[in-house]
Structure 1
Amino acid sequence: MKKLLALALALVMILGVASAFADVKVAFSQIGQESDWRTANTDSINGAVKGHEGWELIYDDAQQKQENQIKALRNFITQGVDFILFTGVVETGWEEVLKEVNEAEIPLILIDRMPDCMDKIEYAAAFGGDFVEEGRRQVAWAGEYLKSIGRGEEEVNVAIMEGTTGAGAQVGRTKGNLAAMEAYPNLKLVAQNTGNFTRAEGQALMESWLKSVDKIDVLIAQNDDMALGAIDAIKGAGLVPGKDIIIVGCDSVKAAFDAIVAGEMNATIECTPLYGPFVVDAIEKLIAGEDLGKELIHPVEGVYDIDGGIDCGNGAVSVKAADVINERQY
C-alpha cells in the first residue's frame, strides 16, 4: 500500500512539472539582423524555444529601431506572455518600458546587450559577452602579434572601426580597445568612427579612411562583418588585406575563419551568439521556482588567428583557426 501511495505521489509530481512547462508563451524582442552573428543569435534562441514541447514563441524583429522595440515590449505585456527575452539596440532609454514589464510581473531575461538601467529594474537572468574584455583582447592580440614579428617598438597606426554608437557592444569594446592601447605605447590611434556593425558600412568607412588617412597599419573592427567589408575596400584600393593592413575582428563567425585561413584577416575575438540552450535552461529553472540571481553570465570565449599561440593575457591564448573551422556553427 505504501509503495502504491509513493508511486501515486511521484506521478502527481511528474504531471505537475509537466503541466508547469506546458502552454508557456515566450516573447523575444530582437534588435534586427545586422550581421551574421545576429542571425545566428536569433536562430539559436528561436530554435531552442520553438523546439521545446508546449512552448510558444512570439518573435519581433525591431529592424534596428528603438521605437519598434518599445512598441513590441508593450504589445507583449498586452498579450500576457509568460516570459520576455530582450536585447536592446542601444543602452539608454529603456527604464520606463522595462518598469512597465516589471509592473506586469512578467519575468524579464536580458540577452547580449545590457540596458544602462539594470540597477533600477527587476530582471530574472542576464546573459551576455564581456564586451570590455573582448575589446581589450583585440588590441592585446595586435600588440603581442606585432612583438612576435619584430615590430613591437615600431610606431604603428591603428584605426578603430566601432559598432552602433551607444550599443552595449560598442561602448564596452571601445572602452577595452582604448584601455589596452595604453599598454602598447607604440600603437598610435589615427582614425575612429562607426560602421554600425554592418558589412556595407564597414566597407564604406574603410574606403573613406583609405582616401583621408595617410597610413593605417592595423584595423581593429568591433565585429567581423565590418572587418569583412573593410577587406573588400582594402582590395579595391590595391592593397593586400592581412599583410598591408593587419585586421582584427570580433565575434568569430564562420566567414571570419574563412578569411583568416585565406590570409586576408589576421584574428577574431570570440563572442558566442549561441544563447538558445542558456535561455531554455534559465526559463525551466525559473518555472521550477529557482532564483538565478543578478550576475551577468558570460559564456566561455576564445581567440582565433592564423598560427595560434599569441598570449593576450587573462588566460586567453589564441588558437589556430584552421584547426577549429569545421566546428563553427555560425
Structure 2
Amino acid sequence: MKLTRRTVLGRALALGFAVCSMAGSSAAFAAKPLVMGFSQVGAESEWRTANTASIKDAAKKDGVTLKFADAQQKQENQVKAIRSFIAQKVDVIAFSPVVESGWDTVLQEAKAAKIPVILTDRAVNVTDKSLYVTFIGSDFVEEGHRAGRWLLERAKKTPDATLNIVELQGTVGSAPAIDRKAGFEQEIASNPKLKIIRSQTGDFTRAKGKEVMEAFLKAEGKKINVLYAHNDDMAIGAIQAIEEAGLKPGTDIIVVSIDGVKGAFEAMIAGKLNVTVECSPLLGPQLMQIARDVVAGKPVPKRITTEEGVFPAEVAAKEFPNRKY
C-alpha cells in the first residue's frame, strides 16, 4: 500500500496523541495517594497524644490519605477498625496493638486481602510472623533494663540499705507492660537488697497511677523506698498521691519512670522525679516512609528499633528546651 506524505504525518500525529494520553494516564495513576488505615490504642497519656500528632502530621506532609481510628484502649475496637480498613481496600494497614495476643484471625483476613500490615510502638504475639511485614518501635525490654541499671547505680550510694520497690505496671497484656517489667526484674536481680513488694497495673493513665499509689501507700506507708512506673503519666499521678500523703517524691521515695515526656522533665526540674528512660513517640515520618517502601514491594527489616536515651534529673533543665513532646 502506497502511503502519501499526508497519511504518514497523520498517523504520526495520532500515535503522538496516544502516547501523550498514555503518559497522562500513568501520571494520574502515579499521583494517586497512598491510603493508610491506622488504628491507635487511644489517648491515655501525653506520649500517646504526641504519637498520634506525629502520625497525622507526617501523613499530611507526605500526601498520604490517612483513615484514623481511636480504639479507646479496647482490642475489640481495633479488630473492628482493621476489618473496616480491609473492607475499604486500603493500601496498607498500620496499628499499635492494645495487647499482644488475639490478632491471628484478623491479620489472616488482611493477608488474604493482600493488604500489608505494619506494627508501630507495640508488638503482637502471633504464630505466623508473615501476618505482618515489620514492627517499628522501641525495645521495651531494654527500657526496663535501663531503668534497672540506673537504680542499681543509685543503690550503690547506700550499699547496706534494702530498697523496697512498688511497681506501677502498664495495661495488662500489653507489650510494654510485659517487657518493661521483665527487663527491670532481670536487671535488679543482681542485687538482693532491691525488692519489689507491690506490683499492680495503673493502665498507663495518670488517674489510675494516682489511685494505685494511694493504695500502695495505705498498705506499705514509709516502707516504700522506690516507685518504678512503666510510664511518665502514671508516675506523675503517683507523685500527687505521695505529696498528699505528706511525703516528698524524689527524696523520701525515689521515682523512676519511662517515656521522657515534657511533664516528666518538669517533674525532674521540680525535684519530684529522679529519672526517665526515653521512649520516643515521634514515629510518623518513619512510618510513612516504610509504608511507601512496603507498598512498592521494597524489602524492609522485620524489626526497626528507635534510638533513645536515659535522662536523670541532673540533666533535665538543660535538656528540657530540646524536648519535642
TM-based fold match above 0.5: yes
2:72 pairs, out of 43, 57, 63, with 63
Contact 1:36–1:253 (CA<8 Å) still a contact in 2?
yes
What is the SS of the residue equivalent to 1:92? coil
Partners in 2 of 1:18 and 1:228 — Cα distance?
51
Counterpart of 1:50? 60
* CA distance 1:18–1:171, change in 2 (3 Å): farther
Counterpart of 1:99? 108
What is the SS of the residue equivalent to 1:297? strand
* CA distance 1:230–1:21, change in 2 (3 Å): farther
1:31 pairs, out of 17, 41, 57, with 41
Output aligned runs, 1:252-263, within 5 Å: 252-263=260-271
Moved over 3 A (4+): 15-21, 118-121
TM-score (norm 2): 0.89
Output aligned runs, 1:1-330, within 5 Å: 19-20=29-30, 22-53=32-63, 55-117=64-126, 119-147=128-156, 150-214=157-221, 215-294=223-302, 296-307=303-314, 320-330=315-325
Identity across the alignment (%)? 46
Partners in 1 of 2:276 and 2:27 — Cα distance?
43
Partners in 2 of 1:236 and 1:154 — Cα distance?
26
Partners in 2 of 1:199 and 1:41 — Cα distance?
17
Partners in 1 of 2:120 and 2:30 — Cα distance?
24
* Greater share of helix: 2
What is the SS of the residue equivalent to 1:231? helix
Counterpart of 1:315? none
Contact 1:131–1:173 (CA<8 Å) still a contact in 2?
yes
Partners in 2 of 1:50 and 1:299 — Cα distance?
22
**Deviations for 1:252-304, whole angstroms, at most 9, x for unmatched residues?**
0000001001100000000100001111111222243311032x111101000
Aligned partner letter, 1:325: F
CA RMSD, 1 decimal: 1.9
Partners in 1 of 2:126 and 2:76 — Cα distance?
17
Partners in 1 of 2:283 and 2:105 — Cα distance?
26
What is the SS of the residue equivalent to 1:85? strand
What residue ranges of structure 1 are gaps of 5+ in the alignment?
1-11, 308-319
Alignment coverage as a number of residue pairs: 304
Contact 2:107–2:132 (CA<8 Å) still a contact in 1?
no
Partners in 1 of 2:89 and 2:304 — Cα distance?
27
Counterpart of 2:9? none
* CA distance 1:20–1:114, change in 2 (3 Å): farther
What is the SS of the residue equivalent to 1:227? helix
How many Å apart are 1:146 and its aligned residue? 2.5
- Using the TM superposition, name which of 42-51 and 262-271 deviates more: 42-51
The structure with the largest alpha-carbon Rg is 2
Contact 1:140–1:180 (CA<8 Å) still a contact in 2?
yes
* CA distance 1:199–1:132, change in 2 (3 Å): same
